[in-house]
Amino acid sequence: MANIHPDEMPVEASRLNGLTSAAGRQEGQPDSFGSLRGQTAVVTGGGRGIGRAICLELARAGAHVVIGYGHNRQEAEETADACRRLGPDARIVEADVSDPVSSKRLIDEAFKIHGRLDILVNNAGITKDTLALTMKMEDFDRVLKVNLYGAFSCSQAAAKYMLRARYGRIISISSIVGLHGNAGQTNYAASKAGIIGMTKSLAKELASRSITVNAVAPGMIDTQMTEAMSGMAQSVMKAQIPAGYAGRPEDVAAAVHFLALPQAGYITGQVLGVDGGMGA
């Protein structure tokens, strides 16, 4: 194999060889596997549930976290306080991701705070479940605007900063429902399937600039959403899980952490299932 001069290495390869500073470290002193020390992450919908678990996981790895929240400021503050107790900085920014102007303001504010933007996690999402024949068009539209349009507008705004830095990680939370569908969730399934298509297309557009774009597709996870289901509905769902139990928000957060790592730079355009085998 021909020798490659360090100056001719792709950005990602040189970064992993300690020749550049992905996370503010000194040259020649790469951080240990799993570290996100000094990086900045934006997590939409980070106030509770899976979003909170992701914020804590990234903060535990050393990343500064900017938490986007829609309405519940108290939950966002509680998440930020928990992140700060782990060491890194954490801020909250109110943002309605269904509004592209608000999404851009969130991303711009995150960059203004820390002067860099390394990781974007598109986690904000809502459900408005009912059978397709009785679904109101405004409910179909609202779910797509928050779940899909929001992920796109945040990704578009973040990509502009990441392109300048020639480095970035964009991770969107999809769902097993986006892969396999689910009765009564036509709008939700459409939004989560759209995230998968968006992820694969963006990955092709941004890969040459060392920006990876991936999705995580959770199955049944114990959150406030699943707690609202009837006991019978939960039993039916759990019966379909080969592992035999529902996952935890921390399981999803661990997958996001992995995809956010500098060492995951050759993984892009992928959908990582976190579902106890439901999608097997």
- By annotation, the residues acting in catalysis are 188
Q: What one-character DSSP code corresponds to residue 144?
A: H
33-54 in b/e burial notation, b at 16+ Cβ within 10 A? eebbbbbbbbbbbbbbbbbbbb
Both structure tokens of 46: 């980070």
CB–CB of 61/35 below 8 Å?
yes
Query: How big is the chain by its Cα radius of gyration, in Å?
Result: 19
Residue owning tokens 């000194």: 26
CB neighbours of residue 213 within 10 Å: 27
* Spatial separation of the C-alpha atoms in residues 189 and 147, rounded to whole Å: 10
Phi-psi region of 210 (alpha: psi -120 to 50; beta: other; left: phi over 0): left
Q: Is the dihedral of CA 36, 42, 47, 52 positive or negative?
A: negative
| Phi, psi at 137, each rounded to 5° | -60, -35
* Spatial separation of the C-alpha atoms in residues 266 and 65, rounded to whole Å: 24
* Spatial separation of the C-alpha atoms in residues 75 and 91, rounded to whole Å: 12
Q: What one-character DSSP code corresponds to residue 273?
A: E
Farthest-apart Cα atoms in the chain, separation = 64
